[in-house]
Amino acid sequence: MSDMQVAAIFGLSGLALTADERAFFARVNPWGYILFARNIADAAQLRSLTDSLRLLSGRRNVPIFIDQEGGRVQRIRPPLAPLYPSGRTLGAIHGHDRAKGLRAAWLMARLHAFDLAAYGINADCLPVLDVPVEGAHDVIGDRAYARDPEIVAEIGLASAKGLMDGGIMPVIKHIPGHGRGAADSHLDLPVVNTPHEALSATDFLPFKALASMPAAMTAHITYTALDAESCATMSRKVITHVIRKEIGFGGLLMSDDVSMKALSGDFGERADRIIRAGCDIVLHCNGDMAEMEALAAAIPPLKDKSLARAKRAVRGLGKAKDGHESALRAEFQELLAAAC
């Protein structure tokens, strides 16, 4: 396998690598992988799958991502991991007692880290920093911590620290903010007409507070006040002037899933626009081989600033601080029980 890594994160089709996937990944050498419920059956199978990705890549710290938020977005479920509450529940605890809310957020993320590390997964697409507004689509909904951007920032920071204390890479999402979207970007392209000043004062605020995080995922949303022609994922204006400069995010920037219907054009065109706009990494989730082949032909290897960001992003992987798992689980359950 080449030492060069293609600037992509790819999904897998099933519970184990197929022969075609092995050949494709060995040839292409994507920077990372992402797992979904279709890739999970039991503990031994999941650990075998992540071990095979690590062995195939030849990298001990190859990033293996998952969406393990809690609530309705939780790919690993009982008996492999407990059911966790939604982000909104953490916000409700914070509303009653700020200190307990922040502690609950750190605890839940730290427990995610225990769960994920046991299966060889080292990156979690969390925290959700979107600030929902009245009338927005429910695709974010109770995944959000609160409607107050200051509270979202506080809880998001506690969650990110919990993951990093467990040796897991957090991915802040969906930069520069998905909370105002009136459509589900999995199905359609949301268009937000809010003035720049209002976006800066609300939607951007949590991302500014977590601008030092190692990785972020873009929003497939068109903000007409920022760039009326292109969604954020494909907008050099948004990435250069808003995400990099105004928000100040200096970490690895990955697209949201390139197969979502918010985007148009063939997959080669999508990848080219995303990279040219300034994203470091193209994310493709569904494991469709024909789509991945088209993307691989259009995505360059990691280099220059993108390569430097990718190297920084993986520095903390696997470096968990000491923690007594059973005691932390008991403390988290006590906080939840007291909040009910």
Distance (Å, whole) CA 184 – CA 164: 30
Dihedral sign of CA atoms 123, 124, 129, 134 in order: positive
Distance (Å, whole) CA 201 – CA 61: 37
C-alpha torsion 67→68→69→71, nearest 10: 110
Q: Which candidate, 32, 59, 40, 172, places its Cα nearest to that of 118?
A: 40
Catalytic residue among 20, 42, 96, 186: 186
Beta bridge partners of 68: 74
Q: Is residue 94 annotated as part of the catalytic site, yes or no?
A: no
Helices (H), the chain: 19-28, 43-57, 87-96, 98-118, 149-165, 196-201, 205-209, 236-237, 267-277, 289-298, 304-313, 325-339
Catalytic residue among 256, 257, 272, 280: 256
Q: Is residue 96 annotated as part of the catalytic site, yes or no?
A: no
CA atoms within 13 A on the CB side of 306: 21
Annotated active-site positions, please? 186, 256
